[in-house]
Amino acid sequence: MKVRNDITTREDIELLVNHFYACVQSDALLSPQFSHVDWPKHLPIMYNFWSSMILGEQSYQGNPFQKHINLAIGSEHFGQWLRLFVNTVDENFQGERAEEIKTRAQHIAQLFQHKMGLH
């Protein structure tokens, strides 16, 4: 059985982000919505985003909602995004920060859907 530790370092964040977006890229529902993404450029931004959120790095600057507002996505996309994210966290980590990152992802999905008028 794989030992799962909590999220404690930027390397942990990078592992999580890399595994998660590999799942997104191979997901039948989500991959078409993100086919335009320049992954080598996007992934370091996501490392900064989650490292800032969970580790307090303050390395992220930007407006994530603005990047998503014009995508042709609905509630089903947010639901699948969240399922993949939670599964990726649960497969690789356990602990207080692992729970926190899942909660924050859920809040982000809810906020984006609310701002986009999705229910």
User: Using one digit for the tens of pLDDT, what is the confidence trace for 22-70?
Assistant: 999 999 999 998 888 899 999 999 999 999 999 999 888 877 766 666 7
Q: How is 43-58 classified by DSSP, letter by letter?
A: HHHHHHHHIIIII---
Structural domains of the chain ordered from first start: 10-115 (1.10.490.10)
Q: What is the model's pTM? A: 0.90
pLDDT at 69 (0 to 100): 65
Tell me the pLDDT of the chain averaged across its residues: 91
